[in-house]
Structure 1
């Protein structure tokens, strides 16, 4: 059983800090850190956060392997209908098909805990670059709730369109980073 340290409960009896004030829990690559005191909150606080999730825009970076040989950045950009890696998102490129509406069935990897449904999501922007014949790097902005892994590999056709269907071959995502969230 955990030992109590002083009076660390609120008026409802909830512990207000389970970790000492001198603890540091690390930081991300941008230097944003998490430190104590950590606090327990009510479930109503959590539901308030959840209510806002549908309006968030999430930014991701990923590296993918593809069975399709990609000979140039230009070929990759044409197949995906996206922006070149070094081009601004606000650019009025005629071949840019983004924002792109996608349909996602509940992914196979979460089907055991989520109801089977088809959800409509938006890929708001996409830029890509070729690393070599089979490796590509993607940067995208998506509506909250988008299954990014499944957008890349297609999830056996359960996400349409996908990077896999746009390229016309198999795609495996090997690295995925959430690079930012717009509230």
Structure 2
């Protein structure tokens, strides 16, 4: 007698998953920026230097004088010589007035009035040192400036954001199955 057997054959079910990934796009535009830098305000004021040279004393030492100066000197010398002559005549008159006191006032006065005075010689430099006078005033510079601040204007641009969601699709790739088969089913029919 044969014993019936169950034979089972099964196939596992399989799931198929198809995914579409999400897509995200972000684009950031740079900010709009405007910068202006005004120039600094600068003012410079210059007072020029001044040099004065007075060489009139050097010209006078070289006997190169203007006519007005010569006239003034001649007038001064004439007045001084007149006063000297007046003084000398008064003194000589007093000497002649006292002739009785002795001496030879007439001969002495004749000798004094007849001879030229002794000339004095001396070494000198023409023109004399430091006869040219100089004066110098240095220049002055006044600098004034003002710094101007920059003008900055900025505009922020929002980001451009794009998003496409992903998908997940689930299918049955293989359906499960179960096959049951009975074998050895010969039954004794004699009984």
Which protein is richer in helix relative to its size? 2
Query: Who wins on radius of gyration, i.e. which is larger?
Result: 2
